[in-house]
């Protein structure tokens, strides 16, 4: 086993339920896991399921060929760590990012294999970012040319692994707009459109 992807809902307490939101007739989590399993470079997909959602997570991914581990991200990693060769790549992927292109996943894997200990896909910041003070008054403008929005999967060389979806000092590869977190009604409508669109090999 050289590449293991761990799907997590580590951001917010409500993300477990959000991962079960129906999109085009299936849970968002189902789309996420099926997409990762469709990347040939990935040998195993493991789902870290909150205890309260474990049975529903298992139902959502039943028959897909992944493993569901009730508990934390650390507990999920502990299950597979003894099986991993020392040259393995570990991917941490947000369950709510169901439609990242396969090529972006490959770019992360390849960057780790090329020697980067930690790699994350990012997008340039398009909006103007203002700084406010304690009274919510605008006091400055950030230089957005150096700002990036982080996506997943975050890729790790196994010796550099830590359960952190926003690591400092990570190398970057280009992200993709389809890799949005599906958390709002607008994003859900976009996810429905992506899920309904004809598939090609570059879209998870």
**CATH code of residue 184:** 3.90.550.10
Q: Is residue 192 part of a domain?
A: yes
Q: Is residue 132 part of a domain?
A: no
Question: Per-residue pLDDT tens for 112-136?
Answer: 999 999 999 999 988 888 889 899 8
H/E element, 175: none
Q: Is residue 128 part of a domain?
A: no
The pLDDT of residue 196 is: 86
Place 12 in a pLDDT band, splitting at 50, 70 and 90.
Answer: low
Q: Is residue 157 part of a domain?
A: yes
Question: Per-residue pLDDT tens for 48-91?
Answer: 998 888 999 999 999 899 999 998 888 999 999 998 999 999 99
Strand, coil or helix: 187 = helix
Q: Is residue 104 part of a domain?
A: yes
Q: Is residue 48 part of a domain?
A: yes
Contact 2, 88 (CB under 8 A): yes
- CA 35 from chain center: how many Å? 11
> Within the chain, what is the greatest distance between any pair of CA atoms?
54
Q: What is the DSSP string of 59-113?
A: HHTTTSS-EEEES-HHHHHHHHGGG--TT-EEEEEETT-TT-BHHHHHHHHHHHH
The pLDDT of residue 143 is: 79
Nearest to 6 by CA among 78, 86, 64: 78
Q: Is residue 202 part of a domain?
A: no
The pLDDT of residue 1 is: 64
- Quote the CA–CA distance of 133 and 127 in Å, as a whole number: 19
The pLDDT of residue 153 is: 95
Domain limits for position 18: 3-121+148-196
Contact 123, 177 (CB under 8 A): yes
The pLDDT of residue 118 is: 95
Q: Is residue 143 part of a domain?
A: no
On the question of pLDDT at 11 being above 70, the answer is no
Residues β-bridged to residue 24: none
Q: What total number of domains does the chain contain?
A: 1
Nearest to 61 by CA among 82, 32, 87: 32
Q: What's this model's pTM, rounded to 2 decimal places?
A: 0.88
Question: Per-residue pLDDT tens for 137-149?
Answer: 898 888 778 888 8
Strand, coil or helix: 157 = strand
Choose between 1 and 2: higher pLDDT: 2
The pLDDT of residue 4 is: 96
What are the residues whose beta carbons fall under 8 Å from the beta carbon of 130, sequence distance 6 or more? 138, 140, 141, 142
Question: Per-residue pLDDT tens for 153-203?
Answer: 999 999 898 877 667 788 999 999 999 999 889 988 888 898 888 765 554
The pLDDT of residue 145 is: 81
Nearest to 11 by CA among 123, 132, 79, 97: 97
């Amino acid at each position: 086993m050289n590449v293991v992807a761990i799907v997590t809902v580590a951001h917010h307490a409500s993300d477990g339920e959000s991962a079960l939101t129906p999109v085009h007739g299936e849970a968002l989590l189902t789309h996420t896991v099926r997409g990762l399993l469709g990347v040939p470079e990935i040998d195993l997909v493991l789902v870290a399921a909150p205890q309260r959602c474990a049975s529903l997570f298992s139902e959502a991914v039943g028959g897909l060929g992944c493993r569901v581990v009730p508990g934390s991200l650390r507990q999920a990693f502990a299950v597979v760590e003894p099986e991993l060769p020392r040259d393995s790549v570990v991917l941490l992927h947000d369950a709510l990012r169901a439609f990242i292109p396969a090529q972006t996943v490959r770019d992360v894997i390849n960057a780790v294999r090329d020697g980067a200990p930690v790699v994350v896909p990012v997008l340039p910041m398009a909006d103007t970012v203002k700084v406010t003070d304690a009274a919510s008054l605008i006091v400055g403008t950030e230089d957005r040319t150096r700002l990036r929005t982080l996506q997943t999967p975050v890729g790790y060389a196994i010796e550099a692994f830590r359960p952190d979806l926003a690591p400092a000092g990570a190398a970057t590869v280009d992200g993709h707009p389809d890799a949005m977190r599906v958390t709002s009604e607008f994003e859900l409508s976009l996810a429905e459109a992506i899920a309904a669109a004809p598939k090609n090999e570059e879209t998870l």
